[in-house]
Amino acid sequence: MRKRIFNIIQIGNRDDWVSRGFDILLTFVIMLNVIVTFMETFDDLSELFDVFKVIEIVTVAFFCVEYVLRIITADYLYPNEGPVKSRLHFLVSFDGIVDLLTILPFLFLSGFIAFRILRIFRIFHLFRINTQYDSFNVITLVLKEKWKQIGSSLVIIVVIMLAASLGMYSVEHSAQPDKFTNAFSGMWWSVSALLTVGYGDIYPVTVVGKIMGILIAFLGVGVVAIPTGIISAGFVEQFRLKSNSASPLKDVEHIGEIAVTADHEFVGKRVSEASDKQDIEILLVLRGELSLFPTDNLVLQKNDIVVLKSGRITRRQTENNIRKKK
């Protein structure tokens, strides 16, 4: 029973329709809880507060049950650890912390303001679901692969921001002591200028300050484009890889295997024909309990398992190389 519960609540288990249904239900409950929390901030909807309260109680109760079930089945999530250690591992993991912070705000809703702020962690509950699906995996994969370039661009932005804030403070402090009271005031202006927001609450009035403002505004356009371009290039690379992996044979870089089904193009073909057509080297053919050496005239049949690799050097090429050496 615990194993079945684990398979159901395991996020991203696409082979089990009950598990997929649970993912959909969990997403609906999270969205309903977040919407209710959002609607409770409107005084005009005070007549519906009792309904909102009931919905929040039901959804939080659902979160509590899910949290308890994940603790009970944690040993299946971490099979290499003991019963106690696996549960402790889950409690301190990202998923466990998010689950706990999803429940705590309701229990301490009338207490400290810090616990009310924790309600935003209900939104992170959705992120945990999305991480198991391809759409969100692309984003996280791009950020992981490009984190060095993104980090370098952020360092450049911080350096330029500090230089701009100190420079503007030095120029404008004497003219506007109430606006540029310290370096942090200049930093606020530099952030709004570099990010091309320009709130207008702080702006230079001296000639030198205006010239600096123009240069920094132009510089901000290029600075913001650096991390944007890095992330965009990462997305293009990932989508190109996914499009190239549409064929099961294109991404075989070392050694892989293919199951020859009834409608597979290898059925009825000789090893030499299949190898020449797909530009692969067939290393072994598994037929039932037999392991067959892939001679050129061996005919591939239904239910065969073909062990292969791409970028091949065929046996004919090998024999020719041996003859040349002789």
- The DSSP code sequence of 171-192 is HHTTT-TTTS-SHHHHHHHHHH
Q: Are residues 240 and 288 in the same domain?
A: no
Minimal CA–CA distance to 118: which of 100, 99, 105? 105
Q: Is 251 a domain residue?
A: no
Q: Is 271 a domain residue?
A: yes
Q: Is 138 a domain residue?
A: no
Q: Which of 88, 104, 132 is the last residue of a domain?
A: 132
To which H or E segment does residue 246 belong? Answer: none
Q: Which of 82, 100, 132 is the last residue of a domain?
A: 132
Q: Are residues 275 and 232 in the same domain?
A: no
> Where residue 313 sits, what CATH number does that domain have?
3.30.70.1450
Q: Are residues 156 and 210 in the same domain?
A: yes
Residue with tokens 């901000």: 220
Q: Which of 210, 244, 278 is the last residue of a domain?
A: 244
DSSP 143: H
Q: Are residues 97 and 204 in the same domain?
A: no
Q: What does the pLDDT look like over 252-267, one tens digit per residue?
A: 456 777 888 877 888 8
> Where residue 71 sits, what CATH number does that domain have?
1.20.120
Q: Is 141 a domain residue?
A: no
Question: pLDDT at position 323, please?
Answer: 47
Max Cα–Cα distance, the chain, nearest Å: 95
Question: pLDDT at position 132, please?
Answer: 53
CA gap 203, 184 in Å, rounded: 14
Question: pLDDT at position 24, please?
Answer: 83
Query: Phi/psi zone of residue 323: left (φ > 0), alpha (ψ -120 to 50 degrees), beta?
Result: alpha
Question: pLDDT at position 226, please?
Answer: 82
Residue 75, token pair as written in the block = 């040993």
Q: Are residues 275 and 240 in the same domain?
A: no
CA gap 151, 136 in Å, rounded: 21
Question: pLDDT at position 35, please?
Answer: 85
Q: Are residues 12 and 124 in the same domain?
A: yes
Give burial (CB, 10 Å; 0-12/13-18/19+) of 306: buried
| Rounded-to-10 torsion of CA 219, 220, 223, 224 | -160
Q: Are residues 106 and 21 in the same domain?
A: yes
Q: Is 112 a domain residue?
A: yes
Question: pLDDT at position 242, please?
Answer: 65
Query: Phi/psi zone of residue 233: left (φ > 0), alpha (ψ -120 to 50 degrees), beta?
Result: alpha
Question: pLDDT at position 316, please?
Answer: 46
Q: Are residues 273 and 222 in the same domain?
A: no
Q: Are residues 260 and 282 in the same domain?
A: yes
Long-range CB pairs of 157-164, under 8 A, 24+ apart, other chains included: 157/194, 157/223, 157/224, 157/226, 157/227, 160/190, 160/194, 160/216, 160/219, 160/223, 161/187, 161/190, 161/191, 161/194, 162/187, 162/190, 164/189, 164/190, 164/193, 164/194, 164/212, 164/216
Question: pLDDT at position 325, please?
Answer: 41
Residue with tokens 């999305």: 130
Q: Are residues 238 and 292 in the same domain?
A: no
Amino acid code (one letter) for 301: Q
What residues make up the domain containing 193?
Answer: 147-244
CA gap 102, 60 in Å, rounded: 8
Q: Is 177 a domain residue?
A: yes
Q: Is 140 a domain residue?
A: no
Q: Is 152 a domain residue?
A: yes
* Number of domains into which the chain is organized: 3
Bridge-based pairing state of the strands 305-310 and 256-259? antiparallel
Amino acid code (one letter) for 184: F
Please give the C-alpha separations between residue 141 and each of 85, 136, 138, 290, 321, in angstroms, as whole numbers. Answer: 29, 9, 5, 41, 43
Low-confidence ranges of the chain (pLDDT < 70): 11-15, 108-137, 196-198, 242-254, 277-279, 310-326
Q: Are residues 117 and 159 in the same domain?
A: no
Q: Are residues 216 and 309 in the same domain?
A: no
Question: Around Cβ 274, how many Cβ atoms within 10 Å?
Answer: 24
Q: What does the pLDDT look like over 194-222, one tens digit per residue?
A: 776 667 777 888 898 888 888 888 887 78
